[in-house]
Structure 1
Amino acid sequence: MILTTDPAVLVLEDGTRHTGRAYGARGTTLGEVVFATGMTGYQETLTDPSYAGQIVLQTAPHIGNTGMNGEDPESRRVWVAGYIVRDPSRVVSNWRAEESLDDALVRDGIVGISGIDTRAITRVLRSAGSLRGGIFSGEAAALDAGEQLRIVRDAPPMAGRNLSAQVSVDVASVTPAQGERLGNLAVLDLGVKQATIDNLAARGFEVHVLPQDVTIDDVRAIDPVAVFYSNGPGDPAASDRHVALLRAVLDAGLPFFGICFGNQLLGRALGFGTYKLPFGHRGINQPVLDKATGRVEITAHNHGFAVDAPLEGTVDSPNGYGRVEVSHIGLNDNVVEGLRALDIPAFSVQYHPEAAAGPHDANYLFDRFADLVKENRA
């Protein structure tokens, strides 16, 4: 692969500019600029739908040497709004590779930039928090600097955005259960990852992946033994319809498990608020305390919002679902990382227990969900 010398510029809403080389598709892209700390697994990051609307900066300096393959994608396409790397690999050297990362970005229309000081930008984001930004390449790189900044500042912030319809499937699909069959599981696709589906099927669920606009009648039609809300992008405060659906699920007594965005929506369904984090949690090395076991898990995250609930003790659900406790806490900043309802069969975590390509410390949560369904059936 021959690296391009075509110019590109990254413009942040604070007015800072970083000039580099075009990478991937040419054009203009806008989004919330965030950094991801994983040194491996960039294909899984790029194809994780929860990164929709975000321009992802890789803190690892050398990206692309293992190329892209047809076995590891977490969804049907690359979802990031844009991509920032320091040193893209000049060659693809993995035996499983089927195309280069650059070719995959071009195919899916992802505008990127390379050859800039990603460490300096990370330090800005670490201090200022996530910022709106834009990547301009091709003809757009020649736009007046003031015009580029205006375009960035006119872009919508992540707060208030509902992106579920952009990433969800249009038609329901079914993945057969493996081993002992537990029954039909309704999975609301808010940006679900393939590894999540695989983990649920491996626990005996017949996994029905449903579009994000289904009704409670649609859910009941598959005769589910439980309901699952996936990860996904956007602001949970802008997802009233999904919260209403979840309340109908809880009212019906169906066991529930939610991850990431699903955790925030369970918090809202129980009656708690949500808020935007200044920095967010992203990457595959986030320490989380499981309060029930005292164990510290290293976990994979991508969230910019969190549930506002008391960290200690039990509280009554403001919406009348009985007692609730915070089950997991993020150790970097004491953010709510999990909820457990004590009087109804429902729990959630803020991170990604499927964690492809790792870590796998939290994979046991899928077993916990299967056990909950079995107990509820009994």
Structure 2
Amino acid sequence: MEFDYSPKVQAMQARLLAFFDQHIYPNEQRLHAEIEANRRAGNPWLATKLIEELKPLARQAGLWNLFLPKSSRAPEGLSNLEYAPLCEIMGRVWWAAEVFNCSAPDTGNMETLERYGTEAQKDQWLEPLLRGEIRSAFLMTEPAVASSDATNIECSIVRDGDEYVINGVKWWSSGAGDPRCAIYIVMGKTNPEAGRHEQQSMILVPANAPGVKVLRPLTVFGYDDAPHGHMEIELKNVRVPVGNLLLGEGRGFEIAQGRLGPGRIHHCMRSIGAAERALELMCQRAVSRVAFGKTLAQQTVTQERIAEARCMIDQARLLTLKAAYMMDTVGNKVAKAEIAMIKIVAPNMALQVIDWAMQVYGGAGVSGDTPLAMMWAHQRTLRFADGPDEVHRNSLAKLELSRHMKLPTDRVKMPVTRGA
């Protein structure tokens, strides 16, 4: 594969970096202050004015909907390989991706609608999502079962005439706290008697449908991620038209695999960006802080960690670019080993680099005075999100072992020797 970014991508990188220098980095404290002001006023779930102000500027800069390839509704969309270095830059600041309409879970939901939705569903939900007018949530995980095995999901989707009736409780429904969240993609069972991977379906549920109740926001190490949020949601006798079903009954696993492949690689791209930011902060602190008569940068332990961080980041980036290249050229199914590898490698790498940066900052590193603590919390969730480490490791091991397993008739016969 060609490792050099194309002139088009290099130009977009330059525009995006300039946008960060002008609009993102200088406004980090303003965004936090706005969220806290809303919290003190009694409603941290209000949409922030800052992000809404920056969205038109991002569109004017040609930095909008870059994540969605091969869509006539989003002609600005890039291939996975082209998008990778841009998504990495967006990962440097936890809220930045939304400015460019490239944030999860909307990206995965838009890709799902583009790939599996009807034209009517796209007109109603995809178009306003692509314009950044509404937001969405993906409701899959449940509190009562081990959702890393999605066949455990218990939420029921039962047909009743021209409607489906939905009952269940979901949690970690990211994005559902946002007041602009207008649509949920819900995974549940339409036929518990079908084959293990044919029981599940996905259906579109308006957030304001009767019977939908947000029970509570969930926190990650004390962060509530307002105004985005991760919600626990009850669906009680929720009725939606039959036309809200995606693709057909029993196709939920098929849709999930199509949705989660790009989502996983996007997460990994942003993880690399977070790690790069942490390494920058680490180096800046190391050259300016003095302990025991010399700067931290002169301490060999710090030098070793900086060197190791650089190696780990570049290794993860190359693996991610390979996965992106394979997704573009041979498809997600063939690239499943590479996707599993980056999902294991990237969040763990980012956590280690961020941890080392925290250590250099001392007490400030775990406070709100730097972005490191929130970055660490976000990266830690990625070892669960879109499949926990253990599931990806098991899948990867099985793929590797399958290369060495042959039918008995294919086995190489060992020579027989006397006395054996």
Shorter-chain TM-score bucket reads: under 0.3
Structure showing greater radius of gyration is: 2
| Higher helix fraction (1 or 2) | 2
